[in-house]
Amino acid sequence: MTTTAVLITGTSSGIGRTAAEHLVRRPGLTVYATARRTEAVADLAAAGARVLPLDVTDEESMRAAVKAVEEEHGHVGVLVNNAGYGEYGTIEETGLDGVRRQFETNVFGLARMTQLVLPAMRAAGSGRIINVGSMGGRLVFPVGGYYHASKYAVEAITDALRFETAPFGIKVSLIEPGLIRTGFGAVAARTQASSSAPEGPYAALVSANEEQMRTSYDSTLLSAPPQTVAKAVEHAATARRPRTRYVVTPAAKALVHTRRLLGARTFDAYLKLQYRGAV
């Protein structure tokens, strides 16, 4: 890298916060931690990060954040597109306004931040873009279809971007976490509860999914702390030859490979066992 500036979106909690905490301790990097409310990341400033306001659903906010980094460093050395959340609920019952808001953050915000940093990266002949996707971009669980759709979109954007930008010295990586013990599960459960009718046709499935999510996130075998993702982000940001994809957690690797190798019919059979009595 010719610049050490690392711009991370969505650092107020979860993976983004942990990645900022992790990278700020690495000598030579200048970490820009961003959030819609800068007071939410004041402790990151105290730890040595530069703090910027950033809302990835607001054009002026995105432009201002990128401009601030470029004015000091010439170009963003590493963009970590991390901001995102899960809007859960069945396909029939989930309100499309909520789905649109999720895509604005998970997909269009990521795409626009990428567009904004690329001209200066190309001019410099270097740069890295790290998109935080999910194992949910490689396989689908019920009651999360719209969230999975947003992460499938991130997969497609990342694959295209990697080829398009390679001639300009820009490296692109995709982080695909499995279940990570952050506030994500609580947000997903809250949106799921608000989108589904308690006595509706999918009540049994939604109830089973709530239980699946709760037990899975509580399991140290199936989930992992956010530090595991932060280490993958660090490797993608600093390694001479970063990987194309980083599937994070052993459980995620097993599920992704099982779905890929055994196909939809077998994976559906696995889901029926997991949701026994509800499907």
Which residues participate in catalysis according to the annotation? 147
What is the number of H-type helices and E-type strands within the chain? 10, 9
Terminal alpha carbon distance of the chain? 51
- How many Å apart are CA 212 and CA 275, to the nearest integer? 8
Strands 179-180 and 223-224: parallel
- How many Å apart are CA 3 and CA 144, to the nearest integer? 39
Which residue type is seen at 230?
A: A
Tokens (6 digits) for 13: 């909690």
Torsion angle defined by CA atoms of residues 113, 149, 40 and 224, in that order, rounded to the nearest 10 degrees = -120
- How many Å apart are CA 31 and CA 22, to the nearest integer? 10
- How many Å apart are CA 93 and CA 122, to the nearest integer? 44
Q: In what order do the strands lie in the sheet with 78-81?
A: 50-53, 30-35, 5-8, 78-81, 127-132, 170-177, 245-248
Cβ neighbours for 233, distance < 8 A, ≥ 6 positions apart: 19, 22, 23, 80, 130, 132, 175
